[in-house]
Amino acid sequence: MRSEIGKLTLDETFEKRDDINQKVVETIKKETAEWGISLLRYEVRDIEPPNQILNSMTLQAEAERSKRAEILTSEGTRQADINIAEASRQAKILEAEGHQQKQ
């Protein structure tokens, strides 16, 4: 199991649990076939990374949420600026049309 998990990132380990299980079964079957042992199933049920990794994952998730919030805020500000500029442009157009009608 260690050899299979060692090939993957932590995220891949969570995502590919079924693949890991299958590879472990195949490996053990090959190694124990001559002993008359047959492994039918192997299951990784719970993966508990060390606290340091859990803390890093938490910080990464917080950074990602903060990044998304910053992006949404900047997009909102940009759209507000566009709306204000468009309103100003429309006001100038209407004002110019009003001056033309007076003449």
pLDDT score for 98: 85
Query: Can you tell me the mean pLDDT for 97-101?
Result: 86
Q: What is the pTM of this model?
A: 0.49
Q: Let me know whether 38 and 69 are in one domain.
A: no
Beta carbons of 23 and 4 less than 8 angstroms apart: yes
Q: Let me know whether 54 and 38 are in one domain.
A: no
Q: Let me know whether 55 and 19 are in one domain.
A: no
pLDDT score for 16: 84
| Chain segment 14-72, per-residue pLDDT in tens | 888 888 889 889 988 888 888 988 888 888 888 888 899 889 889 999 999 999 999 99
7 lies in which domain range? 1-47
Q: Let me know whether 93 and 79 are in one domain.
A: yes
Please state the domain count of the chain: 2
Beta carbons of 24 and 4 less than 8 angstroms apart: yes
pLDDT score for 17: 86
pLDDT score for 11: 81
Beta carbons of 5 and 20 less than 8 angstroms apart: yes
| Chain segment 80-89, per-residue pLDDT in tens | 999 999 999 9
CA-nearest of 80, 82, 79 to 90 is 82
| Rounded CA separation 81/88 (Å) | 11
Q: Let me know whether 56 and 38 are in one domain.
A: no
pLDDT score for 14: 81
Q: Let me know whether 38 and 70 are in one domain.
A: no
Q: Let me know whether 71 and 82 are in one domain.
A: yes
